[in-house]
Amino acid sequence: MAEGRNGEDIVSEYLDQNPHLVEWVESLRGVHETNKQWHARREFFLRNMETFPTVQPGFPSPSLDRLLSLSICWANHIFLGCRYPQPVMDRIKEMAEGVVVNDAPVRKTRDEIMGKGKRTAGGDDDSCTKRTKPGNPFKQGPPPQAPAEHQPFFNRLYKAVAWKLVSAGGFGPNLDHFEILRACTESSKESLSCVFVPLKDIPDLPAARTQKEGQVCELRCQTVYLGTGYGRDEAAARAMASKEALKAFQGRKVTVKICRRRFNGRDVEDLVLLDDQPRNPGFPPAISYPFQPEQQGDGPS
């Protein structure tokens, strides 16, 4: 694709010159993507299609799945603030060269959110004393209709996971839980988001646990919380989170609900995937939260 011009113009001109691609490209849009998110991800996808020469429009392939997954990871990072293992972050950053997203959400690091920035001893710097009024970075949360909007996708995912587990001989400790969840999600044209945080940096944990070394992984799909896992490194934490997430698929159905959780020391409303079994209503504290006010106001049109 051409360089140096507005991304929308470049994509429009490219599709005008290749009308046979229009219907196929549009079929790759996620059902919950806003126009802004889709237009950005579409440009990312088309700019990189030439680097995946085995991708054939209209035909499924591992290369197409890989390119779609990378495009979704990039969009999740830009619009939802999701983080991935560093090799993935480096890859999508390289692939996104030339893609400009106007008015992209501004993200803060966890240290900035938790007020752990550097301070000068005894200084009067205003940046060290200003505080956000309580209840302002979380009051909106997911809209009331969000569970109903997400439920059809998770009904399909439930069926895909159920068949995958049957073919694998049932749920057990020796399965590659992450691979099962990833494959089923990507076959439904979505992607898992994995957020990693050192265990010691998470608020709301008992004091005895905050000293432990290790990583915590939180899994989401379509902004819906699936599970949290702890491990000595990111791979181990992701495996445990995937195992916890798959437990929800052991019942007769899964349900998307709005539930109360803790995030950065505050009570927030979050989208959570639940099964039909009675369980302890408590959830681990959230380490990502895609429903902050800066995410609102750009719904599908």
Task: Give all domains of the chain, ordered by start, each with its CATH number.
Answer: 7-96 (no CATH), 145-204+211-275 (3.30.160.20)
Is residue 6 predicted with pLDDT exceeding 60?
Answer: no
Q: What is the per-residue pLDDT for 224?
A: 95
Is residue 122 predicted with pLDDT exceeding 50?
Answer: no
Name the residue with higher pLDDT: 164 or 152. 152
Is residue 169 predicted with pLDDT exceeding 60?
Answer: yes
Give strand pairing partners of 192.
Answer: 221
Cross-sheet strand order for the sheet of 224-231:
192-198, 215-221, 224-231, 266-275, 254-263
Q: What is the per-residue pLDDT for 97?
A: 86
Q: What is the per-residue pLDDT for 56?
A: 84
Q: What is the per-residue pLDDT for 124?
A: 38
**Residue 49 to residue 11: CA distance in whole angstroms:** 13
Q: What is the per-residue pLDDT for 8?
A: 67
Name the residue with higher pLDDT: 271 or 132. 271
**Residue 140 to residue 48: CA distance in whole angstroms:** 36
Q: What is the per-residue pLDDT for 120?
A: 34
Whether 290 contacts 220, CB under 8 Å: yes
Q: Identify which of 137, 136, 132 has the alpha carbon closest to the alpha carbon of residue 107.
A: 137
Q: What is the per-residue pLDDT for 130?
A: 34
Kind of pairing between the strands at 215-221 and 224-231: antiparallel
Question: Comparing 85-94, 180-189, 196-205, which segment has the lowest mean pLDDT?
Answer: 196-205
Is residue 228 predicted with pLDDT exceeding 90?
Answer: yes
Most trustworthy range by pLDDT among 37-51, 189-203, 222-236: 222-236
Structure tokens at 258: 């709005």
Is residue 87 predicted with pLDDT exceeding 70?
Answer: yes
Q: What is the per-residue pLDDT for 32?
A: 75
Q: What is the per-residue pLDDT for 147?
A: 94
**What percent of the chain clears pLDDT 90, i.e. is strictly above it?**
19
Average pLDDT, the chain: 78
The string of pLDDT tens digits covering residues 232-290 is: 888 999 999 999 999 888 888 899 999 999 888 889 999 999 988 766 667 888 988 88
